């Protein structure tokens, strides 16, 4: 019979990141920070719109910022980009409401363009983060530092 009181053999220490860049786990979490915005936007588009886009990056940033520097950087980048997109969508919505619908002539095409750009830039950022490259979104207000 096996004695269940035996201690398990010690686990090997985690592999430290190489001098070339962040480790595999850090790259994966950074990719998740970008993709969580995409998932949040898709899941909440019906009732929360762009608010759901920054919940995922915010949670990942709050959980991993002290332990993984690359994830800290990329989650902040994803968070800032999605806040910027949310502000743009809100501004276009207010333009539509304040002009009693006439602003929709401008807002609807811009919503489509911004939405496509958001999707493309989010996918590019996720790919770059998975490669260990610190991606910077264009036209982003750096609100979270």
Residue % of the chain over a pLDDT of 70:
83
| 17 in Cβ contact with 30 (< 8 Å) | no
pLDDT attached to residue 104: 95
pLDDT at residue 17 is higher than 60: no
| 92 in Cβ contact with 110 (< 8 Å) | yes
Cα distances from 39 to residues 43, 49, 102, 119, in angstroms, run 6, 12, 32, 11
Domain boundaries, the chain: 24-130
- CA 69 to chain centroid: 15
Q: What is the pLDDT of residues 98-112, one digit of tens each?
A: 999 999 999 999 999
Q: What is the pLDDT of residues 110-136, one digit of tens each?
A: 999 999 999 999 999 999 999 999 999
The answer to whether the predicted template modeling score (pTM) of the entire model surpasses 0.85 is: no
Q: Is 60 left (phi over 0), alpha (psi -120 to 50) or beta?
A: alpha
Q: How far apart are CA 135 and CA 72, in angstroms?
A: 12
pLDDT attached to residue 57: 94
Q: How far apart are CA 43 and CA 107, in angstroms?
A: 23
Burial 14-40 (b: 16+ CB within 10 A, else e): eeebeeeebbeebbebbbbbbbbbbeb
Average pLDDT over residues 61-81: 96
């Amino acid at each position: 019979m096996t004695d269940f009181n035996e201690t398990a053999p010690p686990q090997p220490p985690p592999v430290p990141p190489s001098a070339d860049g962040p480790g595999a786990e850090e790259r994966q979490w950074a990719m998740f920070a970008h993709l969580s915005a995409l998932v949040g936007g898709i899941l909440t588009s019906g009732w929360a719109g762009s608010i759901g886009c920054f919940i995922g990056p915010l949670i990942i940033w709050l959980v991993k910022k002290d332990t993984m520097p690359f994830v800290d950087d990329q989650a902040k980048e994803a968070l800032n980009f999605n806040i910027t997109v949310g502000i743009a969508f809100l501004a276009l919505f207010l333009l539509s409401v304040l002009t009693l619908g006439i602003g929709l002539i401008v807002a609807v095409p811009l919503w489509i363009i911004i939405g496509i750009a958001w999707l493309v830039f989010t996918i590019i950022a996720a790919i770059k983060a998975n490669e260990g490259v610190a991606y910077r979104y264009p036209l982003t207000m750096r609100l979270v530092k």
